[in-house]
Amino acid sequence: MIDVEHIARLARLELSQDEVERMRKELSSILDYFDLLKKINVKKVKPTSHSFSVENVMREDLPKKQPKEKNDKLLKVMPEKKGRYTKVKSVL
Amino acid sequence: MALTSLTISQTHQGLVKKKFSALELTKEYLNRIKKEDKKIHSFLTVSENLAFSQAREIDKKISKKENIDLLAGIPTVIKDNIMVEDIKCTAASKILENYIACYDATVIEKLKKAGTVILGKTNLDEFAMGSSCENSAFGATKNPSDLKRVTGGSSGGSAAAVAANLCGYALGSDTGGSIRLPASFCGVVGLKPTYGTVSRYGLIAFASSLDQIGPMTETIEDCKIVFDVIKGWDEMDSTSIKTQSLSRSVAKSPSDLKIGIPKEYFVKGMDPEVEKQIKKAIKKYEDEGAKIIEVSLPHTEYALPVYYIISNSEASANLARYDGIRYGKSKVKSQKSKVKSLLDVYLENRGQGFGDEVKRRIMLGTYALSAGYYDAYYLKAQKVRTLIKEDFENVFKKVDVLLTPVSPTTAFKIGEKIDNPLSMYLSDIFTISVNLAGLPALSLPCGKVGKLPVGLQIIGQPFEEKRILEIGKIIEEVKN
């Protein structure tokens, strides 16, 4: 049985009581369907994360200089800010 | 013939020969949008000013007798999960309701360089999660063939706009069928390219190992023109692929062609009228001399659970960024908010900003990745993904391409499946394996049931877009 409230907390989602009830029903029927995978034995199979083998793409960790207009655009969409900083609530 | 029903190269000829200007063409489309889109609701944003300024630029070039690209002056629409600088980009979500894109996606940079005219942004299922375009926070798009029916999803706005001649062509994105299903339901051409062929930079990420941007057009010729412009390696997308095989020539006469028909794609529960249209299309290839071979993709039945585990797991990680701190809707400022700590900010912004389906998928993904369940769900799904990919590798030793239906049914009624997520997920049954294996696939109109279009899917080997487009042309020509 899926612990909806615990998972919602992990996913950082606030759900109403009504949503929790609905989610419990819907998710369990979808998870039942996923049980189809129990039928198949994959002990010796390697997992695929990407359809083609991808290599790590590396570069020097240097900041790229952005024009001020670009930075201004990023600042403009911030919901709460102080000067040129984003403002957040206290963490603890 | 109306300006809005010309193909890309016909429009190009008209512009170059000065039969009409780019500005006139743009106005014609915008007028049509004003008139027709009230019924269909394919647009979320109409970018009139941007369109006018782009059209004027092209007219200047034409008057100076400069050479212009094929896409120059051609009006396009862009799915609203692809960023166009200074234009709203909502992903059809309340959480991005007022978000203005800070930069251009790589595909948009390329289209702008080619001189295309951007008319606006089109509707989708929220964050591209859905098969009907009904999950948009701003209301469903309606199918131009029958306004009581869905367009298919998630790129429903783009498909409907192409079908209703509200644009010259469109861009969509495809994670599990999101280009091909709406193309099929609306009767247009849609191409999901090989994974890594088109840059994903500036596409709002849903499932990063599956997402691809692709063209949605009226004809195969148009599809190829657009694909050739948007494809190519990009340093901003670390999964984009540098490859020579992109240009592999594939011209083969139909009589040299070996076409595989996977038997798992013709199953009980399929609409017999749809099956009839698909069989008719296969017969046309046979008549042209192609060899038709029945093949088997034995792990097909596992594709749906594998897809929904992998895509939702990736989505739960990708959508963690929507916290209302750096951008997006935030409730913090509102007086009523009971927010005290940073955690409260996350919970409230996300709980209220996301729609039902998005929350459901984030929950499923979080669950599949959570301690104690990772091996049983995520890791297992990745292993079965390997088997699904190998199924295709095996059949492609025997055949050149595969033909299948895009969907077991034609467009269903609005509201018909919205309360049953699982039955909605089943709409993707014939399209998702292609994403899991990273293959290119084309959705092509091949007939109708009543007034509702039916789509044929042509699945190719990696990087063989050119070949599947050429093979599609055979049907297109026979049809015309």
Q: Is there a domain that residue A79 lies in?
A: no
Read off the pLDDT of each residue in A59-64 and give the average, rounded to a whole number: 89
Q: Determine whether the interchain pair A37/B380 forms a contact, defined as Cβ–Cβ distance below 8 Å.
A: yes
Q: Worst-scoring range by mean pLDDT, B72-86, B154-168, B320-334, B461-475?
A: B320-334
The angle, 0 to 180 degrees and rounded to 10, between the axes of the packed helices B220-230 and B106-113 is 110
Q: Is there a domain that residue A75 lies in?
A: no
Confidence of residue B31 (pLDDT cuts 50, 70, 90): very high
Percent over 90 (pLDDT), chain B: 89
Confidence of residue B436 (pLDDT cuts 50, 70, 90): very high
CATH of the domain at A24: 1.10.20.60
Residue reference for tokens 């390219």: B193
SS (H, E, C) B321-345: HCCCCCCCCCCCCCCCCCCCCHHHH
Residue A71 C-alpha from the chain's centroid? 25
Residue, of B417 and B339, whose pLDDT is higher: B417
Range of the domain at A27: 4-39
**Closest among B95, B151, B81 to B362, alpha carbons compared:** B95
Residue B478 in this model has a pLDDT that exceeds 70: no
Q: What total of structural domains would you count in chain A?
A: 1
For the four alpha carbons of B10, B16, B20 and B25, in that order, the dihedral sign comes to positive
Read off the pLDDT of each residue in B313-323 and give the average, rounded to a whole number: 97
Which residues of chain B are within 8 Å of residue A70 when distances are taken between CB atoms?
Answer: 102-103
Q: Is there a domain that residue A46 lies in?
A: no
**Closest among B381, B11, B197, B9 to B1, alpha carbons compared:** B11
Query: A16 to chain B: nearest residue by CA?
Result: B351
Read off the pLDDT of each residue in B391-395 and give the average, rounded to a whole number: 98
Residue B247 in this model has a pLDDT that exceeds 80: no
Q: Which domains does chain B have, with CATH numbers?
A: 1-299+384-480 (3.90.1300.10), 304-377 (no CATH)
Is A45 at the interface with chain B, CB within 8 A?
A: yes
ipTM rounded to 2 decimals: 0.95
Q: Worst-scoring range by mean pLDDT, A49-53, B120-124, B437-441?
A: A49-53
Query: A15 to chain B: nearest residue by CA?
Result: B351
Which residues of chain B are within 8 Å of residue A37 when distances are taken between CB atoms?
Answer: 302, 305-306, 309, 377, 380-381, 384
Chain B, 306 to 345: residues with Cβ < 8 Å from chain A are 306, 308-309, 316, 320, 323-330, 332-333, 339-345
Q: Is there a domain that residue A86 lies in?
A: no
